[in-house]
Amino acid sequence: MRIGIQLSYAGGFKEAAERVVELERVGIEVVAVAEAYSFDAISQLGYLAAKTSRVELLTGVLPIYTRTPALLAMTAAGLDYVSDGRFALGLGTSGPQVVEGFHGVPFDAPLGRTREVVEICRKVWRRERLRYDGKHYQLPLPAERGTGLGKSLQLINHPVRERIPISIAALGPKNVELTAEIADGWQPVFFYPERADDVWGESLKAGAAKRDPALGPLDVIVGTTLAIGDDVEDRLAWVKPQLALYIGGMGAKGRNFYHDLATRYGFGDVANRIQELYLSGRKAEAIDAVPDELVRNISLVGPRGLVAQRLAAYAEAGVTTLLVAPLATDPSEVLRYVEELRALVPS
């Protein structure tokens, strides 16, 4: 199991980058930068490429709607170049709040668009002339929809690699099936190891049955919070605001992927309550309604022995890359937690 760090997309990036340099020295293997409606992830990863030398740089994740497929491919090839082949492209749909609310782009056809984006990116990296006749993307643009002067082009530069790893953030059954079929990696969120197979097992098997063997095994890339010690129980409460936001506020009723996930984990009634409170503006009450059981089982928080047990559960559930967000009070605590975690990782 690889150990990495996931950086917050809000504030303090330069300070966080300095911590990444220190963490690289103690052996972390991946750093992931998310993108929502904050600073873009690409400029931050370019900064990290210059500050680091070994860690893999991962987008966790870029929304497929906010850049054209060719621009996603160009950007990935550029980051792979400046990092000497250390970049991995994490993609996802994000959600209507960000895509429609911040970018003004329709949130439509997530499955079809994801498949086509992945296919186009791989064509660009192979330096093929872009001829693509998909349902959602046509390259070059048909004459009847443009000037009629478009011709197929290929990437001018020669990429460092023609196979940059692609991971996809997916939660729904069809999205996870597609990911297991076409992607190098899968980035689920709020991963509950003991219930993961019940929620996603059939989708993963269905996708794997159609998977090209040349892709190799699926890299299961899971993010979690981390605090190790006998006096860190209070850190569980630090996780609840984010869970309340996602379960309660990231979508209207009936259109919230995270609410659906909590329901599939067996927390349907409480997810309804969190959503009701959050959407009515009672955010503090929504945070209080997040159950300790859910927080505890999607986190690595507690004494060393408990964290070792949780690590074993993640490994048993098939996790191959663990991205941690330390719940720390100062930089030295971040470093200590990660060093202790690496010592606990099953060999």
d(CA 241, CA 225): 13
Whether residues 106 and 168 fall in one domain? yes
For the chain, the straight-line distance linking the first and the last C-alpha, in angstroms and rounded, comes to 8
Whether residues 56 and 197 fall in one domain? yes
Q: What type of residue sits at position 39?
A: F
d(CA 188, CA 176): 9
Q: What is the pLDDT of residue 255?
A: 84
Whether residues 315 and 274 fall in one domain? no
Whether residues 115 and 154 fall in one domain? yes
Cα within 13 Å of Cα(49), Cβ side: 21
d(CA 252, CA 267): 18
Q: What is the pLDDT of residue 179?
A: 98
Q: Are the C-beta atoms of 197 and 317 separated by less than 8 Å? A: yes
Do β-strands 321-326 and 300-302 pair in parallel, antiparallel, or remain unpaired?
A: unpaired
Whether residues 111 and 68 fall in one domain? yes
Cα within 13 Å of Cα(101), Cβ side: 10
Token reading at 325: 């967000």
CATH number of the CATH domain containing 67: 3.20.20.30
Whether residues 10 and 114 fall in one domain? yes
Whether residues 297 and 319 fall in one domain? no
Whether residues 106 and 195 fall in one domain? yes
Whether residues 107 and 158 fall in one domain? yes
d(CA 260, CA 258): 5
Whether residues 280 and 314 fall in one domain? no
Q: What is the pLDDT of residue 149?
A: 87
Whether residues 55 and 13 fall in one domain? yes
Whether residues 210 and 294 fall in one domain? no
d(CA 336, CA 338): 5
Q: What is the DSSP string of 28-81?
A: --EEEE--SSSS-HHHHHHHHHHH-SSSEEEES-EETTSS-HHHHHHHHHHHHH
Kindly give the confidence (pLDDT) of every residue in the chain, 347 residues in length, as a single tens digit, with 9 standing for 90 and above: 999 999 976 667 888 899 999 999 999 999 999 998 889 999 999 999 999 999 999 999 999 999 999 999 999 999 999 999 999 999 999 988 889 999 999 999 999 999 999 999 999 999 999 999 999 999 999 988 889 888 999 999 999 999 999 999 999 999 999 999 999 999 999 999 999 999 999 999 999 999 999 999 999 999 999 999 999 999 999 999 999 999 999 888 888 999 999 999 999 999 999 999 999 999 999 999 999 999 999 999 999 999 999 999 999 999 999 999 999 999 899 999 999 999 999 76
d(CA 65, CA 106): 8
- Tell me which residue range forms the domain holding 45: 2-226+302-343
Q: Is 338 left (phi over 0), alpha (psi -120 to 50) or beta?
A: alpha
Q: What is the pLDDT of residue 9?
A: 67
Cα within 13 Å of Cα(36), Cβ side: 10
d(CA 345, CA 2): 9
Structural domain tally of the chain?
A: 2
